[in-house]
Amino acid sequence: MGFWFLVCIFSLSSFYASSRAEGGNVEGTIFIDGKSAIGMIDEDFICATLDWWPPEKCDYGTCSWGHASLINLDLNDKILVNAIKAFTPLKIRLGGTLQDKVIYDTEDNQLPCVQFVRNSSEMFGFTQGCLPMYRWDELNAFFKKTGVKVVFGLNALAGRSIQPDGSAAGPWNYSNAESFIRYTVQKNYPIYGWELGNELSGNGVGTRVAADQYAADMISLYKIVQRTYIGMDSKPLIIAPGGFYDATWFQEFLYMTGNSVDVMTHHIYNLGPGVDEHLVEKILDPSYLDGEASTFSGLQNILKTSETSARAWVGESGGAYNSGHNLVSNAFVYSFWYLDELGMASTYDTKSYCRQSLIGGNYGLLNTTTFVPNPDYYSALLWHRLMGRNVLSTTFSGTKSIRAYAHCAKKSKGITLLLINLNNTTTVQVNIAFNSTWIQQHRPSHHRSHRPHKRKVLHQRSANGLTREEYHLTAKDGNLHSQTMLLNGNILTVNSSGDIPSMEPVYVNSSNPIVVAPFSIVFAHLPQVLPVCW
């Protein structure tokens, strides 16, 4: 680890040196179109995951999961309880790689209920595991106490056989899953959505299921939910496939499922393996970040051109796969990637975004051992509190180092801006222009330096006397690898009672530009009310 850190510092020094061309202070302008929304996110857009990995899950010689799985997580920890309650509500997706090796210890189960055991000859490196019903009861008591919206990932490999070519053949044997769903309904446990399978679409991870067979299985799940929840006012969402985006596979799957699927979920690990020593360079490279737009755009187009009413979620996203990387994916620098992902996903009408993970691995929102929030937790909480459902079209002119997004404000009048400065030496003074009419050849790009063909400026700067709220996020001592985040210069940390800190803004005269310091993130709540935000 020490060697890797020295290598990282050396490569970062070179990268930072190459990014100092601007330096000092520059001006830029964010243009916001308030005429109509380009997307609408769910009220509970922020989502996190809880996984099945046992302590023996190790990557690159590091075992980073500890007691963070659905089976052994300490549900009584005060910080954990408070961290979830702060969202009111937090959507949590229960699942991950090992979900397709889980049996449910309901009355119909004839197999021993034993836990995962490390075995390198087994698919995914572990033997079959089991969810005891007493643990399911404990989890649901915890979810009720903390106000969680539960999305449960079901085992989609039950009954299938692995073929010589690596594919999984045969129909889904849903008997154990149906028994588990019946148990859940009998106990009156609220489920927001049932999701089938994890990373079995397209080429799959470990194995794969053909789109036509997966579609048939989804219709089976739809029928199970319809008959099990019969007579109830609302039914859980039917969700799939929880895998990596593959246009051909997704199109075929959607065509064959009809209206049996409510949500199409896809996974994102666009930064590569956690062992990659260039993770930070990728995060700080605007062109690299732009690359994920093609996935969002592709899925959005498929949904628009199909007859389905399904909407898109990011069902799991950890950035760097194989558990992330210590002091990167659990440090301040990751908020650049994470918040940019949230902003970009929103502009393509993604309804929800599930972060891998709430706790566990090196990419948890909470520290695996202490439960203390990592920087991305506070980034997620600020987004949840400030960014409303309506997504506004924006462009930024002045520097490529600024990533800019805008939404109608949440539960208040006005709009909220998210500004991310990827440059380590340049302070950007951001002016604001509101546009009523944009006529362009192409869809507005929300972060590139770009000028629309026609622009009607309603307000370049607000009238004197109005104030806006600003939340400036920086790393402690300016160290991107710090696991301590500062809000307006003050350290964010839980107190001795495990309480999440209040996050108060600073108030700034709206006639002044927004000052975005080097390597910083700013949320700004503006008092202007646009037509789309009425």
pLDDT at residue 465 tops 70: no
pLDDT band at 339 (very low <50, low <70, confident <90, very high): very high
- Residue 413: count of CB within 10 angstroms of its CB: 14
DSSP-derived letter for residue 117 is -
Residue 459 has pLDDT above 60, yes or no: no
431 confidence band (pLDDT: 50, 70, 90): very high
State residue 23's pLDDT score: 78
Handedness of CA 68, 474, 500, 147 (dihedral sign): negative
Give me the catalytic one of 178, 195, 316, 470. 316
Query: Phi/psi of residue 343, each to 5°?
Result: -65, -45
Element (H, E) at 235: none
Q: What is the tens place of the pLDDT at every residue in 120-162?
A: 999 999 999 999 999 999 999 999 999 999 999 999 999 999 9
Q: Taking each helix axis as running N to C, give the angle between helix 247-257 and helix 211-228, from 0 to 180 degrees, rounded to the nearest 10.
A: 40
Q: Is 199 a catalytic residue?
A: yes
- pLDDT by residue (tens digit) across 296-306? 999 999 999 99
Q: How many CB atoms lie within 10 A of CB 28?
A: 22
What's the mean per-residue pLDDT of the chain? 92
Q: Report pLDDT for 75.
A: 98
pLDDT at 16 over 70: no
Are 438 and 393 spatial neighbours (Cβ–Cβ below 8 Å)?
A: yes
Cβ contacts of 313 within 8 Å, gap of 6 or more:
47, 239, 263, 264, 265, 266, 350, 351, 352, 353, 354
Determine the Cα–Cα distance for residues 47 and 148; give it in Å rounded to an integer: 10
Task: Give CA–CA dist 397/379, Å, rounded.
Answer: 25
510-519: average pLDDT: 97
- Tens-place pLDDT, residues 259-283: 999 999 999 999 999 999 999 999 9
What pLDDT sits at residue 451?
A: 43
Tens of pLDDT, residues 41-81:
999 999 999 999 999 999 999 999 999 999 999 999 999 99
Local confidence band at 421 (pLDDT 50, 70, 90 cut-offs) = very high
pLDDT at residue 534 in the model: 84
> How many Å apart are CA 292 and CA 256, to the nearest integer?
27
Of the residues 199, 292, 341, 469, only one is catalytic, namely 199
Is 252 annotated as catalytic? no
C-alpha dihedral over 289, 380, 385, 30, to 10 degrees? Answer: -20
